[in-house]
A = this chain, B = another copy of it.
Amino acid sequence: MVGPSRFMNLLSCFELGIIDALRETPGMTAAQLGEAAGVKPDAVEQLLHLLVKENFVAHDEASGGYTLAALDGIAEADLQRVLAFMNLIKVTTLRQLFYLTESVRTGTVVGLKEIYGFDGDLYGAVGEHRDLRESWSTLMDVVTARIDPWFFDNIDIPSGAQVLDLAGNTGLGAINTYKRKASPGLRVTTFDLPEKEAECLENFRTHGVAEHCSFIGGDAFTEIPRGFDAVLIKHFLNMFDRDEVFTILHGVNKALDVGGRVHILVPVYTENLKDSYTVDYYPTFFLGCATGQGGPQKVSTYRRWLEECGFAVTETITQDPADLPPDVIPVQAVVSAEKVA
């Protein structure tokens, strides 16, 4: 019940600069912190109660001074990653979740409509609303930097392969694929809605891969281009319900020759739900804040779905929650499969 208040109490202490002030000058009192942050000392005292309770901050009753406790030992990079995610939750989730029940009933993101007057999903809304975009892209940079190397380390792209990056947006996935898997004859094609073409081709030029990368405009729900040896589907299937996932996977299957490969990268629920926080956040994020449908699945579900769509799973690699920093919410998996006759 106290989840929303605990969340914003902690984040607000960062937003007000109270934590930075204590890092610079340990032992500041509520009066001094209030002056530094431009707020009443009474409010500083109120907000720091929770942080004292949680041992994030220590309070010396005699002097009235506060010092960083558990928050003192956190590396800057770890802190920035946590704060980027907390900001994402604040901006894209906190208010929107008020409308969760209505979003589930309608299969649309009612919060975006009510708060921003926006009809559509979060990925469309970030194009029009700067606060959403800044919060979203800051986090995506953090996530991509961590996940992309892991993804490419765990998939096999044969020398000279023709690769399709499905729903590849403006080409970053294709560029990374080429750079990390370069081989003579390797060609990577971004497949996404036609309006992405200009920016995508510009990105290929900027990154010096225009010779090896190309763009095809189209819709993954209608028809997927043929002539590729491998299809990458990164962070896409989890945005849709089962029927939509099946439409996409059937389409990919139809487009590939027997023996053709598909590699999917998805956030997943661990088989034992108790093992990770993915399930604490992602159902409501997708249903109430992002797409009004979808959400991660267990790896076993994605395996079954791939098999039901004409594939044989060749490999699944799931992150071990124990290897992740404790603040990382989504556990990711790569599932690779081959079209069977």
Our pick among B43, B47, B277 for the contact of A2 (Cβ within 8 Å) is B277
Residue A242 at the chain B interface, CB threshold 8 Å = yes
Q: A46-B287, A50-B279, A105-B16 are in contact. Are A97 and B8 (CB under 8 A)?
A: yes
Looking at the complex, which of A62-70, A87-95, A141-149 is the stretch in contact with chain B?
A87-95
Q: A101-B16, A274-B53 are in contact. Are A1 and B47 (CB under 8 A)?
A: no
- Interface residues of A, dominant DSSP: helix
Q: For A94, what are the chain B residues with a Cβ–Cβ distance below 8 Å?
A: 4, 94-95, 97-98
Q: A105-B38, A107-B40 are in contact. Are A1 and B9 (CB under 8 A)?
A: no
Residue A3 at the chain B interface, CB threshold 8 Å = yes
- This chain: how many copies in the complex? 2
Our pick among B3, B39, B105, B285 for the contact of A3 (Cβ within 8 Å) is B3
When the two chains form their complex, are residues B53 and A280 in contact, meaning their CB atoms are under 8 A apart? yes
Our pick among B43, B105, B285 for the contact of A104 (Cβ within 8 Å) is B43
Q: A12-B104, A241-B40, A283-B46 are in contact. Are A5 and B97 (CB under 8 A)?
A: yes
The chain A residues found within 8 Å of chain B, CB to CB, are: 1-9, 11-12, 15-16, 38-40, 42-43, 46-47, 49-50, 52-53, 82, 85-86, 89-90, 93-95, 97-98, 100-101, 104-105, 107, 241-242, 269, 273-274, 277, 279-288, 293-295, 327, 329
